[in-house]
């Protein structure tokens, strides 16, 4: 099982995803992620534009889901952008 932490970027079938699941949860075969897409509409606060490997990618917050860890490959970390990610999840859950 791939070792992944919160705000790690993982790659699945050519798509980057950011891990949003807390590191305090017990291990599980799946992990909660949000895709990072280049061609997704950016809605203020809900879909921030994040930088990874010199690319501008949109956090596709509404496409939140779970993926088996065994299908993911760690591709970096964007913890320095954690405030934007956390705000987007808060907007998704609360609407504000």
* pLDDT value at residue 10: 98
State the Cα torsion 62-69-14-48 to the nearest 10°.
30
Q: Which residue range is the domain that position 82 belongs to?
A: 8-94
Q: What is the CATH number of the domain that holds 33?
A: 2.30.30.110
Q: Has residue 3 been placed in a domain?
A: no
Predicted TM-score of the model (pTM): 0.94
Helix (H, G, I), strand (E, B) or coil at 36: strand
Query: What's the rounded Cα separation, in Å, for the pair 57 and 51?
Result: 6
Predicted confidence band at 56 (pLDDT cuts at 50, 70, 90)? very high
Contact 21, 32 (CB under 8 A): yes
Number of residues that this document lists for the chain = 96
Q: Has residue 69 been placed in a domain?
A: yes
Q: How many domains does the chain have?
A: 1
């Amino acid at each position: 099982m791939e070792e992944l932490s919160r705000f790690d970027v993982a790659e699945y079938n050519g798509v980057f995803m950011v891990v949003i699941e807390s590191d305090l949860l017990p291990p599980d075969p799946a992990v909660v992620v949000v895709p990072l897409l280049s061609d997704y509409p950016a809605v203020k606060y809900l879909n921030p534009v994040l930088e990874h490997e010199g690319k501008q990618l949109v956090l596709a917050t509404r496409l939140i889901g779970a993926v088996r860890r065994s299908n993911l490959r760690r591709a970096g970390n964007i913890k320095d952008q954690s405030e934007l990610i956390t705000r987007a999840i808060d907007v998704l859950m609360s609407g504000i």
